[in-house]
Amino acid sequence: MPMKTMTLLTGLTFCIANFASAQNAKEQLVNSEVESVIIYLDGVEVSRSKSVSITPGKTKIIFTGLSHRLDDKTIQIKSSEDIAIHSITTKIDHLTKSEEKPRIKQVRDSLKLMKRKAQYIKDEQNAYAVEKTMVIANQHLSGKDKGVSTIELKQAADFYRSRIKEINLAVSKSDVSLGEYNAVIAVLRKELQELNASNSFQQGEISILVSAKVATKSTFTVKYLVSSAGWVPIYDIKVADINQPIELIYRAKVYNNTGIDWKNVKMKLSTADPHMSASKPILTPWYLNYKTKSSSLYKNKYRLVGVYNQQLDVNTGNLADLSAKKEGEFFYSEISVSDLSAEFEIAKAYTIPADANAYIVEIKEIKIPATYKHYSAPKLDRNAYLIARVGNWEELDLVEGQANIYFGGTYIGQSYINTRSVSDTLDISMGRDKKILVTRVKKKEFSSKKFIGSNRKEVYAYEIMVKNNRKSPIEIDIVDQLPVSQDSEIQVSKIEISGAKENELSGELKWKYKLEPGETKTINLSFSIKYPKNKPITIGQKRKRKVRAKF
């Protein structure tokens, strides 16, 4: 049967024209399940379908049990050609209560019980406070004309001391119990928040006013976008040795906070923008400029509906705890994606509960040819880092994200795949290579400080040694630097740079070597700084600040 598609029409004229017709239309409630989803980085397109029997005349078909966060501007309806679609409207159903999830009910009941116990203790403490006030108020024993005997005074003092002590001990004991109850209450409240219990009774509805000339049966397919869902890429990168290809395991962390569970659904992951305008694109001037160094990513915090309980630290790739954030807040990192969006069809169906937790979804496993080189900046870190270089990387449809690095069967740590490169080669840091030894020592016999007339001259000399302890040859880049003067009175002169390639603007020095197994290279670096002796300058860079124990 031919099908037709209709998107949601907006406008007062359309609604008024169909208002009278809707009043006389027969209503038919439709319960449907989520069949498939296309998950974007910041939203999801949900698809549902249901076969509905239509009688002659007008019928209002109401799809119930939908997410209350659906975007009504994105609704699409598909039906057979012999069905006329007159209007599409949405609303939130606050009256019909859906069956509460067993776990939510269990947590909610436990929370009520803990609150009652905590309130009982508070009431008991209030009673003790009143009694203590009465005891203290009645401790004056003597009258105006008559004193109190020693025996009576002792008995009264014993009573007041004993009773005040009993009250204080009882209050202290109840404070401990109250603290324990409050801790349990906080945990239960957090779990309710994660279970999305606060919105469990809010559901959306889509009403479709249709008409048919004859009785017919048609399958209605409903699609719409919902916020508070998305995915984050995560990679496992495994390398057996530096002469082997990369094994890339591409996964996604998918989260669903739409209020509706996805049960055994077909799934696609996409990097496209679901909110892209339908207007025709207009080219703007394409300006080129020199690339400047800047922070590769930055964090923004947006107020959105929903809770996602993990945040990716873009510098370390670690997941930070967001337990302190308020309900209804999302933490996002800005990332870069290709102009040509990628789409991944997931082979098997998944069930993703609407609890805002991250669930691992397998995307694909591929082997990638790679070349390897080493990099070391011994002035900052006396280690050599292994860099895997991947060509034609844009064909892999990678998205910026954290990567777990494995080398030689050993977990090395976490790295980050940054796809903001405009070059043909993507460099992936594989961590420190302990089989490459790098040292940088100051040569005291060639370093000196002396006065020449009104100037002070300081000479610095260093020796850098690199040794390849691997059983195969390696290529390595060694970088260091010369200071750069920003004042005509400060003169920097290079003495020995061992054939380094020099960047005179930044002072960077780079040596490129190919080292055979067991081979050692020695680099000699020396330079002098001359400046007026009555104008001291800061030559050494700031040292790292760390925390240590104090005894």
Q: Are residues 465 and 509 in the same domain?
A: yes
Q: Is residue 498 part of a domain?
A: yes
- In one-letter notation, the amino acid at residue 403 is A
Q: Are residues 159 and 205 in the same domain?
A: no
Which tops the pLDDT comparison, 419 or 292? 419
Q: Is residue 539 part of a domain?
A: no
Q: Is residue 161 part of a domain?
A: yes
Angle between helices 102-137 and 150-194 (to 10 degrees): 160
445-464 pLDDT tens trace: 888 888 888 889 999 999 99
Rounded distance, CA 90 to CA 97, Å?
18
Give the helix/strand (H/E) hosting 153: helix 150-194
Number of domains in the chain: 3
Which 8-state DSSP code applies to residue 280?
Answer: P
Q: Are residues 81 and 124 in the same domain?
A: no
Pairing of strands 84-93, 26-31: unpaired
117-128 pLDDT tens trace: 999 999 988 988
- Residue 297 binned pLDDT confidence (cut-offs 50, 70, 90): very low
In the structure encoding, which two tokens stand for residue 191, read together?
Answer: 């779990």
Q: Is residue 318 part of a domain?
A: no
Q: Are residues 24 and 88 in the same domain?
A: yes
Q: Are residues 93 and 216 in the same domain?
A: yes
Q: Are residues 95 and 107 in the same domain?
A: no
Q: Are residues 166 and 217 in the same domain?
A: no
Which candidate, 377, 429, 421, places its Cα nearest to that of 396? Answer: 421
Q: Which residue has the tokens 């790098």?
A: 438
Which 8-state DSSP code applies to residue 199?
Answer: G
- Residue 385 binned pLDDT confidence (cut-offs 50, 70, 90): very high
Q: Are residues 22 and 96 in the same domain?
A: yes
Which candidate, 544, 536, 491, 547, places its Cα nearest to that of 379? Answer: 544
Q: Are residues 123 and 178 in the same domain?
A: yes
- Residue 251 binned pLDDT confidence (cut-offs 50, 70, 90): very high
Q: Where are the alpha helices (DSSP H) in 59-149?
A: 102-137
Q: Supply the range of the domain harboring residue 523.
A: 437-532
Q: Are residues 82 and 118 in the same domain?
A: no
Residue 313 has pLDDT above 50, yes or no: no
What φ, ψ does residue 220 adopt, rounded to 5°? Answer: -100, 125
CATH code of the domain containing 444: 2.60.40.3680
The CA dihedral of 366, 368, 372, 375, to the nearest 10 degrees, is -60
Q: Are residues 42 and 189 in the same domain?
A: no
510-531 pLDDT tens trace: 999 999 999 999 999 999 999 9
Which candidate, 36, 29, 33, places its Cα nearest to that of 59? Answer: 29
Residue 360 has pLDDT above 90, yes or no: yes
Cα 358 to Cα 241, 253, 256, 419, 549: the distances in Å are 32, 5, 8, 23, 37
In the structure encoding, which two tokens stand for residue 256, read together?
Answer: 């669903």
In the structure encoding, which two tokens stand for residue 146, read together?
Answer: 């008559």
